[in-house]
Chain A
Amino acid sequence: MAKKVPVQFTLNGEERAEFVESGATLLKALRERHGDTSPKGGCHQGTCGACSVMVDGDLVLSCLTLAETCEGRDVSTAAGLSQDGVMHPLQRAFLDGFAAQCGFCTPGMLMAAKALLDENPNPSREDVVEAISGNICRCTGYEPIIQAVLSAARANSHVAA
């Protein structure tokens, strides 16, 4: 039987502590132990970006991050983007701009976009393309996603990230 280890971190601002299997990925821990299924497992090899989350403000792939390495850190996921039932401008823009089709890449795409806007609230189109370059979408063809991120940046320009 796999050894279980306690791991404590904040998830979308909430204190969380769970036992996880040693060597388990953050993706598995979030989905199976913390009930946060917003990060998706698309490839488990770091190429699709569907599992993208932020750890201490940095965008990372939760499928390649071991849960134990997040001890004491600050984890945020797409499930935490809405505040008090109000969507984040990125969510609103994806919704209004048809930037999601099957929706599987959407949580990861949103986190990649969030990481960009946190760093650079007024990105150029090239900045957006670069920011989502590690996230694969097989349905929309990227253009609506790029437009949604740009429009969220415009809508968000007066809001602190």
Chain B
Amino acid sequence: MIRLAKDYFADQRQDDLKQLGQGLQRSDVPGHVTGKTAYFADRSYPGMLHLKMVRSPHHHARIRSIDTSEAEKHPGVAKVLTHKDVPHNVYTILILIQIGPEDEQVLAADKVRWKGEAVVAVLADSERAANEAAAKVRIDYEVLPAVFDIDEALAPGAPLVNEYHGNNYYTYDSGSHRKVRFGDVEKGFAEADHILEQTYWSSPIEHAPTETTGCIVVPEGNDRFTCYTNTQAMFFTLDNTSIILQMPGHKLHFVGGTVGGGFGGKVDVTVEPIAILASKMTGKPVSFVYSREEEMQVSSARAAEKIVIKDGISKDGRILARKVTGYTDAGAYSRHSPYGAQKGAAHYPGPYTVPNVWIDTYCVYTNRTPSSAMRGFGVTIADFALEVQMDKLARLIGMDPLEFRFLNAYRDGDMKAHRQPTEGAALIECMQEASRAANWPVAEKYLQMSSYGEK
């Protein structure tokens, strides 16, 4: 099934590929098929406590009061944690690379900003007792108006989702959005024979890993804590836990590596800090594992996006100008979304050479489950929109959609909108192979094209 097309660019490299194109046995699969691979939850400890989270039933509400007294008295309960127990309760993941402000509560103190936000953590000697006690926590909420999509959030007078930002969008060093400016986009539109402006929407997508998010924490005798976790971002999690718990990193021993499906959904810092805090405060091993419902409802999803693309093209099929405004729905908190929106800006205008480009991308806050990483986030939905737009443009001028792409594909030496000259492009060659593999006929002149050489 895999075929190496070595005839392309043969003069640009030595033919010394030994592993590419070869089937190799993966080192972890013998463990998988014999049931011996150890996932974080494949361990249990005597006296282990189970953590259940009391979550906000509201999309947006002020917390008037939290009463845990009945829960604390429930048989089997070891500890009930609130925001008061968390040493540094407001954090943001990317503060590690100086992308602030800190905007998210580990346990909600004064306000909840999405349905499912963590408020109170209950620890008991069985899951059943933890659930029973969680049902006895009394939280008095004053429900606030909420916003559920990008347009609502950016409308004048919209309720403010996240006070730490002051606006319903992230403020970059470049202002309210990320920008790319190249050539003169208005001049390009003026010269175009056709202009097509389209808006594309996507919904959030849950990764739905078969193994839910979780960790097991064991207190060690030397005042250290071992955290068995299925995080996909070991050191982001360790460093953020260190900040949240105000504990030096050498007190925290993270053991991970085997993840039962992640797809980007396990890069956020969600279970570890509170489980370690619970272990520290009780002196006992603690298990905090999302239920399936929590995984689907509470774990971060791929962001919803709104993408407006305006293209000016000539009647012979050249894209002369492309203007893109992209919006990423971060949900209530930043997590990785300011980065996702920025990636979008870096990705447009796609693998095409366009002389005049204008790109704005926004990271927008709404009262929804925080969104975060998922397989090419910031890029995947952008490509969906771009390629649908490419098909529409081809149809507009009666051109074959693949030939239209050949004509506009970037090639070595072309200047990209980000002022990086294109190097090592192989899009033309990939499309040539694809047209053959798919029996999609294109004119001979496109099969003679190359990613380098004259236009």
A contacts, CB < 8 Å to B: 2, 31-32, 36-38, 40-45, 47-48, 50, 77-79, 81-82, 87, 91, 94-96, 98, 100, 102-107, 110, 136-139
Contacts and interface: CB of A to CB of B under 8 A. Distances in A.
Contact of B34 (A48, A79, A136, A137): A79
Given A31-B42, A139-B261, A106 B292 contact: no
Contacts of B261: 102, 104, 138-139
Contacts of B212: 42
B211 A104 contact: yes
Contact of A37 (B38, B126, B208, B209): B38
21 contacts: A2-B126, A31-B44, A32-B44, A37-B35, A37-B38, A38-B36, A40-B211, A42-B212, A43-B292, A47-B292, A78-B35, A87-B34, A94-B29, A102-B259, A103-B29, A103-B32, A103-B37, A107-B35, A110-B33, A137-B210, A139-B261
Nearest to B28: A103
B29 to A, nearest CB: 5
Interface in B244-285: 258-263
Given A38-B36, A138-B263, 18 more contacts: A2-B128, A37-B39, A42-B211, A44-B292, A77-B35, A78-B35, A79-B35, A87-B33, A94-B29, A95-B30, A95-B33, A100-B29, A103-B31, A104-B209, A105-B210, A106-B32, A106-B35, A138-B261
A149 to B, nearest CB: 13
B291 interface: yes
Contacts of B260: 40, 42, 102-104
Interface string B316-351: 000000000000000000000000000000000000
B29 A95 contact: yes
Interface in B199-227: 207-212
Contacts of A48: 210, 292
Interface string B14-49: 000000000001101111111111110110100000
Contacts of A91: 33-34
B33 A102 contact: no
A102 B210 contact: yes
Nearest to A148: B33
Contacts of B30: 95
Closest 4 CB pairs of A and B: A38-B35, A103-B32, A104-B260, A37-B42
A129 to B, nearest CB: 19
Interface in B384-439: none
Contact of A44 (B31, B36, B44, B291): B291
A137 to B, nearest CB: 7
Q: Is the interface of A mostly helix, strand, loop or mixed?
A: loop
Contacts of A110: 33
B29 A41 contact: no
A5 B212 CA distance: 30
Interface of B: 25-26, 28-39, 41-42, 44, 126, 128, 207-212, 258-263, 291-292
Contacts of B34: 38, 78-79, 81-82, 87, 91
Nearest to A96: B25
**Chain A CB within 10 A, most for which of B26, B29, B32, B208:** B32
B32 A100 contact: yes
A74 B438 CA distance: 51
A83 to B, nearest CB: 12
A64 to B, nearest CB: 13
B292 A45 contact: yes
Contacts of A44: 291-292
Given A31-B42, A44-B292, A95-B25, A100 B210 contact: no
A82 B260 CA distance: 22
Contacts of B44: 31-32
Contacts of B26: 98
Given A31-B44, A103-B28, A139-B261, A40 B38 contact: no
A37 B39 CA distance: 9
Nearest to A91: B33
Contacts of B291: 44
Interface centre among A81, A91, A100, A102 (most CB of B within 10 A): A102
Nearest to A85: B34
A32 B127 CA distance: 14
A91 B31 CA distance: 10
A52 to B, nearest CB: 12
A88 to B, nearest CB: 9
Contacts of A104: 39, 209-211, 260-261
B1 to A, nearest CB: 11
Contacts of B207: 138
A157 B361 CA distance: 59
A106 B25 CA distance: 16
A1 B37 CA distance: 33
Nearest to B30: A95
A127 B29 CA distance: 25
Given A31-B42, A102-B261, A104-B261, A138 B209 contact: yes
A36 B34 CA distance: 11
A50 B259 CA distance: 14
Q: Quick one: which of B28, B126, B261 has the most chain A CB within 10 A?
A: B261
B357 to A, nearest CB: 36
Given A31-B42, A37-B38, A138 B210 contact: yes
B272 to A, nearest CB: 20
A143 B258 CA distance: 23
Contacts of B35: 36-38, 77-79, 81, 106-107
